Each structure stands twice: as structure tokens, then as C-alpha cells.
Amino acid sequence: MLALLRTSFLPFLILFSAAAGSSPPRQRRRPSPPPASPPCPEARARTPSPARLSPAPSSPPKRERERERERREKKKKKKKKKKKKKKKKKKKKKKKKTKKKRGCPAWSPDGWR
């Protein structure tokens, strides 16, 4: 008889407690799984390394990019050194031979001048 009363009274109790503004019934947390045992060395050897699992990075690491840039700069410097032009020697100007000015040819008693 008491058991029957308890079972019939329980839903009313929940309703009245909710109406009174008390907090809703808490949900139980799932029990956390037991910690996994460490894999044996054979199993470890069989699993691929995380580096292999992850896809290859789209851009090379920062250090590698810096090395590439330095290599390119060195090549440019070498090319610049090759392009260095030698100074041209100035050619000496030839002196123009001036013709001796002679008077206009005219007849004189000595002959043609």
C-alpha cells in the first residue's frame, strides 16, 4: 500500500518542485572510459608515423624558404659581377693636317706663284 502511494505521489512531487522554481533534475554524467593501456612495441612499429599521416605542407618551412632566397640573391650577385663592364679607353683625336695657305696663283715675273 505504501509502495503504491509512493509511486503515485512521485510525479506530483516533481511537478510541484518544478512549479516552485527549483533547478531541474541533473543529468547523470557518463562514466569516463578507463585509461587505455600503452600499446606494445610491435603495435607501435606497425602504426605509421604522424608525419606520414599528415598531408605534405603546401609551402616549405620558413627556414627552407630563407635559404632559397639567399641562394637566389647569391646567384644574382654573381651575375652582376659577370656583367661588370670594362672602362673603354678614350681614343686620341688625330690632329688635322692644316694645309699651308698659299696665295692665289698669279703670274709674276719670277713665274707662277
User: pLDDT tens digits, residue range 61-74?
Assistant: 788 889 999 999 88
Determine, yes or no, domain membership for 91: yes
- Is 70 or 42 the better-scoring residue by pLDDT? 70
Domain-embedded: residue 90: yes
42 domain residue, yes or no: no
| Domain interval for residue 95 | 64-102
pTM of the prediction? 0.20
Q: For residue 79, is it within any domain? A: yes
Q: What is the mean pLDDT of residues 71-82?
A: 78
Residue 43 domain-assigned (yes or no): no
- Average pLDDT of 78-100? 77
Q: Name the CA dihedral angle for 56, 57, 63, 64, rounded to a multiple of 10 degrees.
A: 60
Give the chain's domain count.
Answer: 1
Do the Cβ atoms of 106 and 113 come closer than 8 Å? yes
State residue 107 phi and psi, 5-degree precision.
-85, 125
pLDDT at position 89, please? Answer: 84
Spatial CA neighbour of 25 closest among 15, 38, 36: 15
Q: What percent of the chain has pLDDT over 90?
A: 5
